[in-house]
Amino acid sequence: MRLEGKIAIVTGAGSGFGEGIARRFAGEGARVVVNDIAVANGERVAREIVAAGGAAKFCAGDVSKDADVSQLVAFALAAFGGLDIVVNNAGTTHRNQPMLDVTEDEFDRIYRVNVKSLFLTARHAVPHFRRQRHGVFITIASTAGVRPRPGLTWYNGSKGAAITTSRSMAAELAPDNIRVNVINPVAGETAMLADFMGQDTPAMRAKFVASIPLGRLSLPSDIATAAVFFASDEAAFITGACLEVDGGRCV
């Protein structure tokens, strides 16, 4: 039980990588606050974790809104009596298309969810982490932030900003024993896959998978394994790291 006694918030945990992380954290002994804007999905994940013998509660909220993030942190403290880990997993994208075809509203939404959320979770969790002299942030970014491709320009930029922001946080927060690390998945079977490819066809999938040396998409279990390590005491001397969990796509 590598996370025994720890309390974690996982944003965007109603599906995809976030769901995988929440389930794995609970299986490793953590008490988990499942956060998502999709209420039915988030409630399902929390309910299934509890049914499997884990500890989880659902808290609805939009990670791009200050009031919602404030409530999320307060919920964790009230529900479980503390907070040790924040996984910033919630993310969004625009469809693969020429950069000038993306609307201003789409651009703003991407940066609110993918970048502003880091500011908001830090704003509300760091004071608690400082008081207890420990804490962990894990950012689920993307290989798009380190090896950008045409067609996802503004998404690529948001993930690059999330990576740089997280590493800057790591440098500033290290004296408080607050660690910040980044995981960069390649695309997986998530709701955003069709947007990444532009169109979801067998030919497009084959082309995308062919660009990954290990020959498949990311699985939630791949990302959850890396997140457990960063969240655990095994990574006590690791901060500011940026780990590609991508089957070699960034090589």
Read off the pLDDT band of 14 (50, 70, 90).
very high
CATH number where 38 lies: 3.40.50.720
Q: Which tens digit of pLDDT belongs to each residue from 83-141? A: 999 999 999 999 899 999 999 999 999 999 999 999 999 999 999 999 999 999 999 99
103 domain residue, yes or no = yes
Q: What is the pLDDT of residue 205?
A: 82
251 domain residue, yes or no = no
Of 77, 15, 39, the closest CA to residue 220 belongs to 15
Helix residue spans in the chain (DSSP H): 16-27, 39-51, 66-80, 104-111, 117-132, 153-173, 193-197, 202-210, 220-231
The CA distance from 168 to 31, in Å, is 28
Read off the pLDDT band of 11 (50, 70, 90).
very high
- CA distances to 17, 101, 188, 193 from 218, rounded to whole Å, are 9, 28, 4, 11
* pLDDT (mean) for 181-205: 79
CB 144 within 8 A of CB 159: yes
The CA distance from 74 to 8, in Å, is 12
Q: Is 127 exposed, middle or buried (0-12, 13-18, 19+ CB in 10 A)?
A: exposed
Q: Which tens digit of pLDDT belongs to each residue from 202-238? A: 888 888 889 899 999 999 999 999 999 999 999 999 9
Q: What is the pLDDT of residue 195?
A: 67
Torsion angle of C-alpha atoms 119, 196, 150, 98, degrees rounded to 10: -90
155 is annotated as an active-site residue: yes
48 domain residue, yes or no = yes
The CA distance from 116 to 161, in Å, is 10
- Catalytic annotation, pick one of 155, 196, 208, 230: 155
Structural domain for 230, as ranges: 7-245
2 domain residue, yes or no = no
Q: What is the pLDDT of residue 202?
A: 81
Domains identified in the chain, total number: 1
Average pLDDT over the chain reads 95
CB 10 within 8 A of CB 87: yes
26 domain residue, yes or no = yes
Say which range, 37-46, 102-111, 177-186, 195-204, has the weakest mean pLDDT: 195-204
Of 70, 90, 74, the closest CA to residue 10 belongs to 90
Q: Which tens digit of pLDDT belongs to each residue from 138-153? A: 999 999 999 998 899 9
CB 218 within 8 A of CB 143: no
